[in-house]
Amino acid sequence: MHRRKKLFVDKVEEISFCGNQMFQFTGGEYEIPFSIQPTDCAHNFENCESCRENHELLMKEIRPLTDKFPFCCEQHAKLTEFPDFNIEDYKNLDKEIADKVYFTHHHIIDRIDNEDWYEDITDYIAYVTESIGTLPPQYGGSFQLGSYFLYVLELIRTVENSITSDEISKKEIKIRIEKIKAFINSFRKDNPENKNPDLNLLLSTYHKWYKIFPFELTYFNNIRERYRTNIPILAEPFHLNRYSNVKVAKLHTKESLTQSLIDTTKNILSQVNGNSLLKAGLLTDTEKIKYDLIIKKRETELFEMQLIDNSKQSGYIKVLKKWLKGEKKFIDEITPYLKNKSQKNREDKQEITVLKFALYIYYMQAAGKIEYFENHSNGKLAAIEELLEGSKVIDTTAKYFQIAYNKISNHKTNRIANNQISNISFVAKKMLNKYPEARNIALEELKLAQSKNR
């Protein structure tokens, strides 16, 4: 397969968006038609006399038009003034078009019951469509492309009720045929999805969404940059066509991008909210969150006023309004509980003495959760200084802590003395509740202390 394609750029426009620079190219392409070979199909010209006869009839039917090309219409006639046009590149068009119609027909019948039937057939149709060639916009549409689609659809209609398969039911065959028809019809000129998307319009649509989404809330600190730099203008990932070996992707339309942003809004808000942050232990400054929610709620209301006549875009505005209202209510309800919890944590912290912290460290070391101080490369005192600096649990000096620690670690009798029962109990129940191995060691010593001092 030898392809000759030339791209034409009429206009280059630089677009700035969220600090990113982009370029939009406007123009067209010119590709000369190229021949293709049939795929390996059970139904083909060799075993179907009817197809051979109808192929000849189709050639005769379209020959009057192909013989006139490029003087078949006013726009195509302009090709004689186009520097790259050579009539020799358009020989045998009647046979080329008829071949491509029947090759497609045979391919559809043969692959309709495959597992990957849709991708296979649509890849092939897209490939054949490319083989018909492309003309620059001012010189008319691809010659006979419309006829190719019409003839393929007509052939499908004549045989769709007689297609059989050992793999799928008649009902499933009908469903698949309808999907292939819909795919072919999607190439029609009057299909709005075939209009070249305006990149400016897509970026403007995304910018409005990004501006109104409450990324400035602390909830969204971790994802804000991702959505600022990754602009989802592609409606689907790049796909490698198995027949043309060309990667293609489809750009969003304004409508499909708006729907995608509504779905994105729902997805983000379902994953990032006050409840999820509470469960992760990240919901702290609720007063600030309440303030931010109030401000953002009002901003959303004001932005909504600008979209009164745009029901499509207001879809994600409605979602955001509902979410913001729910968030404010949630924060109102949870704030008193968090205040009580915060107060309790402060009280617990105030109860932790140097001796209790020394016991806590001893039991954690005994359970293998913390390294013994003597294993530190710079000595015990350096190890204690690092521990105190990192923990922020008690306010004391390394030397004073070392004295308390040595007292309980070097002499078990000191550790399980009568005056240590309440300290061991506090450490086991309140400080080691997340460390079962260390807690069990503390509880065993608590039993020893209680039995020893009865």
Nearest CA among 226, 208, 227 for reference residue 317: 208
For the chain, report the end-to-end CA distance as a whole number of angstroms. Answer: 97
Beta carbons within 10 angstroms of residue 274's beta carbon: 21
Q: Using CA atoms, how far apart are residues 405 and 394, in angstroms rounded to an integer?
A: 14
What 3-state class would DSSP assign to 415? helix
Predicted pLDDT at 347: 47
Whether the CB-CB separation of 407 and 425 falls below 8 Å is answered with no
DSSP 8-state secondary structure symbol assigned to residue 430: I
Distances (CA, A) of 237 to 158, 264, 290: 35, 16, 39
Q: Using CA atoms, how far apart are residues 416 and 452, in angstroms rounded to an integer?
A: 8
Q: Using CA atoms, how far apart are residues 152 and 433, in angstroms rounded to an integer?
A: 73
Helix 398-409 with 354-366: angle, nearest 10 deg: 60
Question: What's this model's pTM, rounded to 2 decimal places?
Answer: 0.60
Structure tokens at 45: 């010209």
Q: Using CA atoms, how far apart are residues 110 and 63, in angstroms rounded to an integer?
A: 28
Please report, as a single letter, which amino acid is at residue 4.
R
Longest dimension (CA), the chain: 116
Q: Using CA atoms, how far apart are residues 200 and 237, in angstroms rounded to an integer?
A: 21
What 3-state class would DSSP assign to 190? coil
Please report, as a single letter, which amino acid is at residue 6.
K
Predicted pLDDT at 10: 66
Q: Using CA atoms, how far apart are residues 128 and 123, in angstroms rounded to an integer?
A: 9
Nearest CA among 338, 100, 160, 120 for reference residue 241: 120
Q: Using CA atoms, how far apart are residues 302 and 3, in angstroms rounded to an integer?
A: 54
Q: Using CA atoms, how far apart are residues 408 and 420, in angstroms rounded to an integer?
A: 10
What's phi and psi for 381, nearest 5 deg? -60, -40
Tens-binned pLDDT, residue by residue, of the chain (454 aa): 678 888 766 676 666 655 566 666 666 788 999 999 999 999 999 999 999 999 999 999 999 999 999 999 999 999 999 999 999 999 999 999 999 999 999 999 999 999 999 999 999 999 999 999 999 888 888 999 999 999 999 999 999 999 999 999 999 999 999 999 999 998 876 555 556 667 788 888 898 899 889 888 888 888 888 888 888 888 888 899 999 998 888 888 888 899 999 999 999 988 888 888 888 877 777 777 887 888 888 788 777 766 655 556 677 787 788 788 878 887 887 777 666 655 555 545 547 888 999 999 999 999 998 999 988 888 888 888 888 887 777 888 888 989 999 998 888 888 989 888 989 999 998 889 889 899 999 999 999 888 887 6
Q: Using CA atoms, how far apart are residues 20 and 31, in angstroms rounded to an integer?
A: 33
Provide the residue ranges of all domains of the chain, joining segments of one domain with +.
5-191, 199-344, 352-452
